[in-house]
Structure 1
Amino acid sequence: MSYIYIFSPSSAVRDKAAFRRGIKRLQKLGHDVEVDADALSSHTRFAGDDATRLAAISRAAASGADVALISRGGYGLTRLLPDLPYKALARSIERGTQYVGLSDFTAFQLALLSKTGACTWAGPALGEDFGTSETPDDIMEACFDDMVCGQGEGSGWRLPKGDELALVSRSPAAASELAVRNACLWGGNLTVMCSMVGTPWLPPIKGGVLFLEDVNEHPYRIERQLTQLLHTGIIDQQKAILLGAFNRFQVSPHDRGFKLQTVVDWLRSKTKTPVLTGLPFGHVPTKVLLPVGRKIELLVQGRDALMFWG
């Protein structure tokens, strides 16, 4: 079906079995898979030192692949932002290469959008999604196939009931309806994005739709980071905030009822920007693919939310 180039721009691949399973599953789906020469390199916690990973990114840009897919996230890309080959990456996207990833890859995606305006895809990683010990999620695979074939035109999900009530209380006249048009879709991992605030690599987007997710972050840390985005004005400058999965954390007796919903309710009390939850994206098996940097329409009626970019 397509030519996929696997590269490792962030943390070292520790789960080699998942890496191999992911490659085999992509090949079974009919894809031609090429693995970067340093995809399994290791230097302390990284997939090679900075120069090694920069070279891997350059090879991905020169590969001519239909899809450049990260092996995993972790940490490491923010170190590389001053030296990324932005022009080569933008040219490769113009020639048809689609860059796909999530988590730490947010730094790559937002910096590339800031410097060149080029669009990428927030989506699966090789090991976590295609290399899972379970059967890969059907929705994730279908969305990936749509992206590969150029058929993806949008996505939808069912909002929690509390979101409908929040929209009604925000604007009783409009009831639970929301329409956002011609807005730039951007965002990704909350922690990574916050680390980019105040740098030249965070795009100064106003009037956009900002989507966020995170993993292994306690609700109070999620709130602290959302507070940073709120105090910098980023939250209020958007037309909508979409919250995906925030998972793999543990609350403690000290929290006394402070939980993720507490954070969502607090954020809604501090901004007029609509905050929607339940977006199927993040460190979860069921994830849609989202075009970072593309203009979209967002329509909400009742509990049905739809995004269109086709």
Structure 2
Amino acid sequence: MLTRRSVTAVLGALAAGALSPELTARTAARTEAQPPARPKRLREGDTVGLVAPAGFIADRFGVEAILESIRAVGLVPKPAAHLAAREGYLAGDDQTRAAEFQAMFEDPAVAAVMSVRGGWGGARILPYLDFARIARNPKLFSGFSDNTALHMALAARCGFPTIHGPNASGAWHTQSWQAFHALAFEGATPTITVPADPLLSLERGSNRLRTFHGGKARGRLLGGNLTVLAALVGTPYLPDFTGAILFLEDTNESEYRIDRMLTQLALAGTLGKVAGVVFGQCSNCVEREAGYGNFTVYEVMDRAFGSLGVPAFQGMPFGHIAAQACMPEGVMAEIDADAGTVRLLEPVVA
């Protein structure tokens, strides 16, 4: 799509007589944004690069367990050379973690890249990545939690879709694997929904649908962990959320901290740009200080999202839970806040 700047430049040149109609048409065609290439779908026997862009793996036995899990689902694991490295709470120094992440995208033998875990540290490697080279080698990237920093940076600087889903060290619950397989292997466009168990709907637990503002909306899915995403505000690694469907999750954060981060997104103008909001699970988001007066986390969301005037709901099965759904990043989807659904309109892979 022509940007405002490119349209202004073309019209200005026409007014000055600098461009012929034929040259104007060719210039306009060049400035039309080309859709980024999609990663190739996975097939059994493909090689998957395993990286640790943030926290470290406890010991070599943890690495062995991860390799076994990847082999068990029919893929060939290729661990980064320093996958078991450790520097404090990080899996090695920033430059090494960045170099190994970069290398997996540039290795022609690697079909996809998976993060082994979250923690903290993904944002630290962003200045060391060559996104232009990564963009020339679009591959499926998967991970969640702290890996939100990488999802957002890839969306902002490369544009190809990724999957916010289980890390390679996760339990890979049957539902999670089936969801990943549908997106990554089959190129499916499923409808993801809040669980419809009638017993759950009667409980006050986090699984039930909570609609903050009803209606339907379409937009590009973008999001991830609220804490990590909010920390990227003001950096060049946060994509434009204009017209997007923002999806969020978090864990072990007090209600006031969720409030603080959503307020930050509102003050930064991010919330005001979105076409809709989907909140997954906020696991253990309860202040533990005795006698602490509080909103519930759902009241915080209701106040933050209800006034936006766009469809917004909570209860989707993604986040820090065992049977988490996979949420595509960067693909078009339609949400129905009254039904609690996210319907994908295009595949993640080619």
Q: Normalising by structure 2, report the TM-score.
A: 0.77
Return the offset for 1:257: 5.0
One of 39, 61, 64 as aligned partner of 2:105: 61
Q: Which residue of 1 aligns with 2:95?
A: 51
Runs of 4+ in 1 over 3 A off after TM superposition: 15-19, 159-162
Does 2:261 align with 1:225?
A: yes
CA RMSD after TM alignment:
2.0
Q: C-alpha offsets along residues 195-246 of structure 1, whole Å, 9 cap, x if unaligned? A: 1111111112211100011122111101110011112221121111111111
Distance 1:137 1:87, change over 3 A: same
Aligned residues: 289
Return the offset for 1:7: 0.9
In 1, the alpha carbon distance for the partners of 2:123 and 2:209 equals 36
In 2, the alpha carbon distance for the partners of 1:67 and 1:214 equals 26
Kindly report which structure 2 residues correspond to 1:245-264, keeping only aligned pairs within 5 A, or say none.
245-252=281-288, 253-256=290-293, 258-264=295-301
Q: Which residue of 2 aligns with 1:123?
A: 165
Q: Which residue of 2 aligns with 1:26?
A: 70
Q: Which residue of 1 aligns with 2:323?
A: 286
In 1, the alpha carbon distance for the partners of 2:306 and 2:345 equals 30
Q: C-alpha offsets along residues 47-85 of structure 1, whole Å, 9 cap, x if unaligned? A: 110111111112211223222000111111212222212
**Secondary structure, aligned partner of 2:145:** coil
Distance 1:299 1:47, change over 3 A: same
* Higher Rg of the two aligned structures: 2
In 2, the alpha carbon distance for the partners of 1:194 and 1:10 equals 17
Q: Which residue of 1 aligns with 2:336?
A: 299
Kindly report which structure 2 residues correspond to 1:142-161, keeping only aligned pairs within 5 A, or say none.
142-158=178-194
Letter in 2 for 1:25: S
Distance 1:206 1:257, change over 3 A: same
In 2, the alpha carbon distance for the partners of 1:52 and 1:243 equals 34
Q: Which residue of 1 aligns with 2:141?
A: 99
**Secondary structure, aligned partner of 1:236:** helix
Kindly report which structure 2 residues correspond to 1:145-294, keeping only aligned pairs within 5 A, or say none.
145-158=181-194, 163-164=210-211, 166-167=212-213, 178-181=215-218, 183-252=219-288, 253-256=290-293, 258-294=295-331
Q: Which residue of 1 aligns with 2:16?
A: none
In 2, the alpha carbon distance for the partners of 1:157 and 1:50 equals 38
Indicate conservation of the 8 Å contact 2:286/2:297, yes or no. no
Indicate conservation of the 8 Å contact 1:26/1:33, yes or no. yes
**Secondary structure, aligned partner of 1:255:** coil
Indicate conservation of the 8 Å contact 1:251/1:259, yes or no. no
One of 70, 76, 80 as aligned partner of 1:36: 80
Q: Which residue of 2 aligns with 1:76?
A: 121
Mean Cα displacement is larger for which, 21-30 or 99-108? 21-30
In 1, the alpha carbon distance for the partners of 2:296 and 2:50 equals 37
Letter in 2 for 1:289: C
Indicate conservation of the 8 Å contact 2:243/2:273, yes or no. yes
Distance 1:141 1:269, change over 3 A: closer
